[in-house]
Structure 1
Amino acid sequence: MDPLTTTAAAGMRSRLETLDLLANNLANVSSPGFKADREAYSLYMAEESLLASEEGGIPQTSAPVIETHHTDYGQGLLTSTGNSTDLALSGTGFFQVDGPNGTLLTRNGRLQVTRDGRLTTMDGYALSTVEPRRIRLNPEAPFSVDPDGTVRQDGAAMGRLKLVNLGSKAQAARREGLYFSLDARGVQGLTEARAEVRQGSLEASNYSASEAAVKLVGVLRQFEALQRASQLGAEMSRRAVEEVARVTA
């Protein structure tokens, strides 16, 4: 395969991978606390091609690939809901949650009070507290949450929500829903967050439908251009074969 076709094919593949990220971002535009994924590009060259080039062979073609994708933790717009069970974080940080397989982090503050008085996410995961004792509320009575995360009911402090920041080298993995998980080292590296809790509000997704529309148009145009380049490479190869094979008088 000629270099032009190889490069164009690799570019089309990277555009398809970008489309997958875009589709997931777009599907979560209305999800509270959602953090968008962004792509990072690099150039790939097989080890064999790299060695051949270094040993004086024909320079090999490098192919564009999505080297990795990263999560954009930028804050979304805070919108008032008036619901006491809706909490939003203003500033950098996460709610720490007791997941089924360990610690989870989330910015989704849409909560519920269960019949037994536990303050949990809509998936039933209890919110971690600074104190070892978890919060127990009267589900029939109102409660309030201070900016530092202290939950109060009937004037008494029932516990303080654990708000955390990722460590400088922590790698959070996205999990089903609006959660992130950490390995044991990442959990140990969590630090206390200075974010403020806003009761009666929710944080919107930091990805908008308008941004998705602009990105989608760009991806489609790039894919079409790469497809035309691939077709041009194939046509050039065909003509080269036909011209070489032609017998002249």
Structure 2
Amino acid sequence: MQPSLYVSLSGQMALMRRMETLAHNVANVNTAGFRAEEIKFEELISQKTDAPTAFVSGGSTFISRQAGDLIRTENPLDVAVTGDAWLSIQGPNGRAYTRDGRMTMTPEGELRTLTGYQILDVGGAPIQLDPTGGTPGIARDGTLTQGGVQRGALGLFTIPEQANLTRFENSGVIPDMAAEPALDFNRVGIMQGFMEQANVNPVSEISRLIQIQRSFDSVSNSITQAEQTLGNAIKTLGETS
């Protein structure tokens, strides 16, 4: 096969993968705290032809840490995290971290996510409130009070910039490096009565989807033309031999 066909196929596979990530982002545009998935491609050089040939790699995905917009909900059990920090929750296989701060309180007074996971304090313990203590107040540093009495604190954590993030369900992540308790509440904090939207711009993502679809079609046409050229060449050689 001609090197140009391999190059075109590698480009087509890369475009297909990018379309899949964009479609996933658009599907979660209304998911609170969702972090968009991006993809990074690299150029691979093959020396197996007379001249070095550049191919597109399969690409490596990563989760964007860009913050989403905050909206006021007035729900005292909704919190938004400001700055580059995360809430900690107890997943089925250990700790996970999320920017979706919408919470519920069980009849026993335990704070959980809307999907039922325990919300943890800075020491990794579930947070227990007084079920008869009324609406909790939540300070910027995560401190929880009921009737002027401190009942605990939401754990707020920072994840190293170099850590790779694996998605946990829709809005959570699991890092491959240990998260650290947040210490500087001038840079990060909690806002009660707010929630964070997905960091996805639907107009931009759909525009990118359209552009990539056009590029995909263009590459497909190039492959078809290359195959026709190769077929014609073989036919001509066959007729002259």
Q: TM-score, normalised by structure 1?
A: 0.88
Match of 2:152 among 133, 153, 159: 159
- 1:72 aligns with 64
Say if 1:15 and 1:133 are closer, same or farther in 2 by CA, change over 3 A.
closer
Moved more, 164-173 or 198-207: 164-173
Q: Deviations over 1:137-181 (max 9, x none)?
A: 233521110111101111111111111111243222112232111
- 1:6 aligns with 6
The 5-angstrom pairing of residues 189-208 of structure 1 reads: 189-192=179-182, 194=185, 195-208=188-201
How far off its partner does 1:133 sit? 5.5
- The answer to whether the 8 A contact 1:131-1:159 is kept is no
Match of 1:209 among 194, 202, 210: 202
Q: How many residues align?
A: 237
Q: Distance in 2 between matches of 1:14 and 1:131?
A: 42
Q: Distance in 1 between matches of 2:19 and 2:131?
A: 44
Say if 1:218 and 1:237 are closer, same or farther in 2 by CA, change over 3 A.
same
Match of 2:104 among 112, 125, 129: 112
- The answer to whether the 8 A contact 2:144-2:152 is kept is yes
Specify the SS of the correspondent of 1:62: strand
Specify the SS of the correspondent of 2:53: coil
- The answer to whether the 8 A contact 2:157-2:180 is kept is yes
How far off its partner does 1:131 sit? 5.0
- RMSD over aligned Cα atoms: 1.9
Q: Deviations over 1:182-225 (max 9, x none)?
A: 34xx22x5242641211111001000211121111111110011
How far off its partner does 1:22 sit? 1.1
Q: Deviations over 1:6-55 (max 9, x none)?
A: 2111111111111111111111100011000111111235xxx54x46xx
The 5-angstrom pairing of residues 24-43 of structure 1 reads: 24-43=24-43
1:95 aligns with 2:87: yes
Q: Which runs of 5 or more residues in structure 1 are unaligned? A: none
Say if 1:155 and 1:125 are closer, same or farther in 2 by CA, change over 3 A.
same
Moved more, 132-141 or 219-228: 132-141
Percent of aligned pairs with the same amino acid: 25
